[in-house]
């Protein structure tokens, strides 16, 4: 860990405190053209962004419909129902993403 990062973590309670948190959540309002490119109607409705702190994983909800969310990991991107049921996904194979549903 570099010196600056070490100082920042120390000032905010140290590594034990950091390790005590699993994820961080924020309310976001998206803009720009990304959702439009993905075929999702852009609106100004707030969404919930969740990022896991100790693994490469993130989610945005709602996505595409009120009962859907994205779920990203390094090897997979998916659209799921809030209850976890898969709606659509793509898995990484080398440098390519292959749709699975």
The pLDDT tens digits of the residues spanning 7-59 come to 999 999 999 998 999 999 999 987 777 777 877 777 788 999 999 999 999 99
Instruction: Read off the pLDDT band of 4 (50, 70, 90).
Output: very high
25, 49, 58 from 65: Cα distances, Å = 20, 15, 18
Cβ atoms of 24 and 18 closer than 8 Å: no
Q: Which two tokens stand for residue 8?
A: 């920042």
How much is the pLDDT for 68? 95
Q: Which two tokens stand for residue 2?
A: 């570099």
Give pLDDT tens digits for 58-100. 999 998 899 999 999 998 899 999 998 988 888 877 766 667 7
Q: What is the pLDDT of residue 7?
A: 93
* pLDDT score of 60: 94
């Amino acid at each position: 860990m570099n010196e600056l990062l070490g100082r920042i973590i120390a000032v905010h309670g140290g590594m034990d405190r950091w390790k005590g948190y699993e994820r961080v959540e924020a309310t976001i309002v998206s803009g720009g053209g990304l959702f439009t490119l993905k075929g999702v109607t852009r609106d100004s409705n707030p969404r919930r962004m969740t990022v896991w702190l100790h693994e490469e994983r993130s989610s945005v909800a709602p996505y595409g419909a009120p009962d859907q969310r994205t779920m990203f990991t390094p090897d997979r991107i998916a659209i799921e129902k809030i209850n976890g049921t898969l709606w659509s996904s793509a898995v990484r194979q080398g440098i390519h993403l292959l749709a699975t549903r």
